[in-house]
Chain A
Amino acid sequence: MRILSDGCAHSGSLGLPAPFPILSVETDNYRTKTFTIDLSLDALPGQFVMAWLPRFDEKPFSLVAADPVTLMVTAVGPFTNLLHAMGPGDPLWIRGPFGTSFRLPGSGLRAAFVGGGYGVAPLLWLAQTWRRQLEGATVIIGAGTAADLLYVDRFNALQKEAMSPGVPLEVLTCTEDGSAGSTGLVTDLLSDSLRSGETDLLCACGPHGMLAAIDSLGDEHNIPRQLSWEAYMRCAIGICGSCELNGSVLCLDGPVLEYGRTEQDAQPV
């Protein structure tokens, strides 16, 4: 077990994976399902776990929630297809949580949460966790087509919930083919939103191209951003270098990296 610098042993298992039964499976779209696992972790939005199917493979997934552990899985290849064939009661081996979380720099801020594809996975939990401390938030969800959009219903439900304590939460969607929401990319919606109103912080998760574009937009408008990057993970514990991005190991220094602000401002939520 690794002892963290504060002297505390980690609450999850950073070491060996252990099996936990799947509690429920919900279908989100034609290729995405959300799995709830009979396990609770002491974790924060933005962190991820490694899911293992013995002798098959082990892959990283963002936490959609930690109590109970919830994972949104898009079927794109062998591992995710095998996972999609599993149901309640089947065991899934988990180790984690790993990596950095999003960090709330202060109260009374206006945040934009931007998710592309399954990049929305950590953002719902993030918006839920932060909403009471925010002055307002804009959620931007993008995908290729209407069928690929994820978690719009869940964000809409959160919007209703947020209204009662009076936190304005705007939910915007876009698709590249215009089949739902506005036509175009999340960065189109984001740049409109940045031009029209106050935004203090950008939080985003999605493919590299999208994050790079958001980074330059934020830079242009001088807005700090926290971006959650993806890479091929092997060890997930910062030792093998497989997940390197510009001198950072994304499994340990990331996946959430901060840009455009001083380090000491950031506090864990």
Chain B
Amino acid sequence: MSEDLPNPSVTFLDRELPSPLVLASGIWGTTVSLLERAADQGCGAVTAKSCGPEPRAGHVNPSCIDWGGGLLNAIGLANPGVDEEIGLLREAKARLQPRGVAVIASIFAGTASEFGDVARRIASASPDFLEINISCPNVEDSFGEPFAANPDAAAAVTGCVKQAVAGQAIPVIVKLAPNVPSVGRIAQAAVHAGADALCAINTMPGLVLDPYSGQPVLANRSGGISGPALKPIALKAVYDARKACPHTPIIGTGGVSDGQDAVEMLMAGATVVGVGSAIYQRGPDALRNIHAELRQWMAAQNIASIADLQDRAHSEPLYATSPSIPPAPSAH
């Protein structure tokens, strides 16, 4: 049966990936065995948890909860620091390369030049791609507003990282934030500064309160919304980024929970599709299920390849614009 289903392989940054699904950064952390598990379940690429210059304990609990419409997390970028991360990434790459699955390193830092420094160090692990997380909403106390909030800051970080890895031919992916007036403008700024690809989006800032204590539930008070509530926001961000940067590969991430969500994300402009919270929403086999559903959907709709889905929402509509005009509301 599965032999008859369409081939889900896809080209991303000149690299042929066996599947368009990408494990989103921070999901399942950085342990090699869990990255491997995601690969076995049908990911074409896996993103490691963002790592910074030094080890970071992250925030105390609660740091991730289900509030009903999705998750809210403020893990606080808990990570072992770039030096230990290098070893983990090397091992992950050794294990995933034979399967054709790409390893994406993810980094964060406090200043543009520090981003460059972490990028230079992480490049020694030779990840297939390097994602720069300029959009985490949960570390504002230490780092001020995310770099992704401002085109100049986004460009400065991108420039420093590109320069740092210039000798190594590691393509750089810039991860965008949803909570900006114009995602397209930030996307363009990053691309002009040298970004090879974009990832849209990171989580949306949010707050969940416990009415009995009157206190925020997360120890960090606020956190980032992910999962189903994020999907329409992510679709719009990906759509806008695609419009602003017609030729830049995009990882479309946010609220993808089933195969049809993945289809919609590709149509909005994603080249490949990031999956995170679905691993909670759908259970630990989420990736395998989404992968199967995507192929089944394509088969049912007679779609032969992922490329046939990409950017569909940007093509000419089926019908010409309707000439009818809704009546203006009247006082009577």
Which residues of A approach B to under 8 Å, CB–CB?
1-2, 4-5, 14-19, 50, 52, 54-55, 57-59, 91, 93, 95, 233-235, 237-242, 244, 246-247, 249, 252-253
Contact = CB atoms under 8 A, between A and B. Distances in A.
Interface of B: 26-31, 33-34, 36-37, 49, 58, 60-68, 71, 73, 75, 78, 208, 210, 212-213, 215-217, 219, 276-277, 279-281, 283-284
Given A93-B210, A240-B29, A244-B33, A234 B277 contact: no
A252 B279 CA distance: 11
A238 B279 contact: yes
B66 A55 contact: no
15 contacts: A1-B66, A1-B68, A14-B66, A17-B210, A52-B61, A52-B62, A57-B219, A58-B62, A58-B219, A234-B64, A235-B65, A239-B73, A240-B26, A240-B63, A241-B30
**Majority secondary structure of chain B interface residues (helix, strand, loop or mixed):** loop
Contacts of A237: 64, 66, 280
A245 to B, nearest CB: 9
Contacts of A2: 66, 280-281, 283
Contacts of B283: 2, 4-5, 238
B58 to A, nearest CB: 8
Given A2-B281, A54-B215, A240-B29, A247 B66 contact: no
A247 B73 contact: no
Given A2-B281, A240-B75, A246-B33, A15 B219 contact: no
Given A15-B68, A239-B276, A240-B64, 17 more contacts: A2-B66, A2-B283, A14-B66, A16-B66, A16-B208, A17-B217, A50-B61, A52-B217, A54-B215, A55-B216, A57-B60, A58-B219, A234-B78, A238-B283, A238-B284, A247-B37, A252-B284
A244 B34 contact: yes
Of listed B28, B34, B61, B63, residue having the most chain A CB within 10 A: B61
Contact of B210 (A54, A247, A252): A54
Given A15-B65, A234-B75, A247 B60 contact: no
A235 B29 contact: no
Contacts of A95: 65
Contacts of B27: 239-241
B213 A239 contact: no
A22 B248 CA distance: 57
A91 B212 contact: yes
